[in-house]
Structure formats: structure tokens, C-alpha cells
Structure 1
Amino acid sequence: MNPRTGAKAQVAFDRKELGIILGLYGRMVAAGEWRDYAMSFLSDVAIFSVFRRAAEHPIYRIEKRPDLRLRQGQYSVVGADGRILRRGHDLSTVLRVLERKLIRPID
């Protein structure tokens, strides 16, 4: 809560979290998997959405919900269909579910 305006503060990713997310994003862009991203900062959740093309729905959402930090973890990866693919307390561990796409067999 902001004491001057009375408005609830927004949830946002800090510099370290953004560094981890953008590092993964850069590797996925280099691999040709992802093309665009968007960020949303709301009063209860911060969302980093990943797109294969700019004009479609996000294929993944990386969410930070601080209200869940004492329960199942504040970080989660949500698929295009709305299913939670992974949830936890450590962002790097949660993002491993997406890094599996980078591992490909060598022909």
C-alpha cells in the first residue's frame, strides 16, 4: 500500500529475476523457439509472457505471485492452455521446465 496515494503497490520482477528470465529468453530466441515477449505488472501478480509470433496468444507465462511464497512457491510457469507446468520457490529451478526445449539430439 502506497501511503501517499492509498493505492496498492504493483508486483514486479527485481533485477536478478529479470536477468534470469531474459537470459533464458535470449537462449530461446537464438534457438528459434521464441520471438517476442510482454510484461504485465498488476497488484497481485507480475507476468512475463512469451510469444512465438507477436500477433498470437502467449505460449508460456512466467508468473510471480508473492502471496503464494509461503505455500507452494511464488514462481510458476503456465502453458498456453492455462495449466501450471511448474511451481516453486526458486525461479531458476522453475524455469528448467522450459530449458528442456533447448536440448536437442545432434544429427
Structure 2
Amino acid sequence: MSDPIRLADYRRPKNRVYFDRQELRRLLDVYSRRVMSGEWKDYAIDYQNGSAIFSIFRHSFDSPLFAIAKRRDGKKSAYQVFSGPRKLKQSATIEDALSIFDKELREIPTHRRSR
């Protein structure tokens, strides 16, 4: 009779990226300040393709206003802040990436009406 095969020995290790406790605390601190001012209402955390994404919504069923992504290249992490498809900031530290929210943010219209 043959020996049993351990499937765990053949599985590729997953290079899962996630927000650690300090990063989540920092993200939720920025988020809660904007919730208290009435600007933001909801958030979501997604894990996909080697990145962790914290998305911020004005209304629960809208597209995200902002997304903060953490990506890992080897042992180094990179943080990016997006508004839709536009990259607003990229940094090696989450504090520096989130510093963009220390300023007063305003929505920029994407379409202009001709008069």
C-alpha cells in the first residue's frame, strides 16, 4: 500500500497581503473623523491579487470615493491612494499616504456643461 500524499506539501504558499492592527487603526482613525463630519458613510476591505484595499464610500451603494491599497514587493510595502482610476498619492508608509486626507478635500467635476 502506498503512503498518503500530503496536499499541503504541494500547495504554493500564498503571498497574502493584509492590513496589520496599526495600519487598520490609522485607516479607521482617518475614516471616523470624516464620518463625524458627515462626508463619508461606509467602507469595505478587500483582499485580491497580492493587495489589500480599504475603500471609502459616501453612500452605501455608490462607487468608492477613495481606495487605499497596500501592495507588497518582496518584504517592502507600498501604499497608494486612488480616487476612481486616478492615483492621488504613493508612499512607502501608510502615514505619509494618508496625509493627503489631512487637507480639505473637495470633489472635482469630471464633465463640464457647455452653455
After TM superposition, the score normalised by the length of structure 2 is 0.75
Cα distance per residue 1:42-81 (max 9 Å; x no partner): 24110000000000100000000112875xx60010012x
Tell me how far apart the structure 2 counterparts of residues 46 and 59 of structure 1 sit (CA, whole Å): 17
> Could you tell me the percent identity over the aligned residues?
35
- Are 1:94 and 2:94 counterparts? no
- Structure 1 unmatched runs, 5+: 103-107
1:27 to 28, 33, 37: 33
- Are 1:79 and 2:96 counterparts? no
Runs of 4+ aligned residues of structure 1 deviating over 2 Å after TM superposition are 3-7
SS at structure 1 position matched to 2:14: coil
Aligned length in residues? 97
The structure whose Rg is larger is 2
Structure 1 residue 101 displacement after superposition: 2.4
After TM superposition, the score normalised by the length of structure 1 is 0.81
Tell me how far apart the structure 2 counterparts of residues 35 and 58 of structure 1 sit (CA, whole Å): 11
Tell me how far apart the structure 2 counterparts of residues 88 and 67 of structure 1 sit (CA, whole Å): 13
Greater strand share, structure number: 2
- Are 1:55 and 2:58 counterparts? no
**Contact 1:8–1:43 under 8 Å retained in 2:** no
Greater helix share, structure number: 1
Structure 1 residue 8 displacement after superposition: 1.8
- Structure 2 unmatched runs, 5+: 1-6, 106-115
SS at structure 2 position matched to 1:53: coil
What is the root-mean-square deviation in Å for CA atoms of aligned residues? 2.1
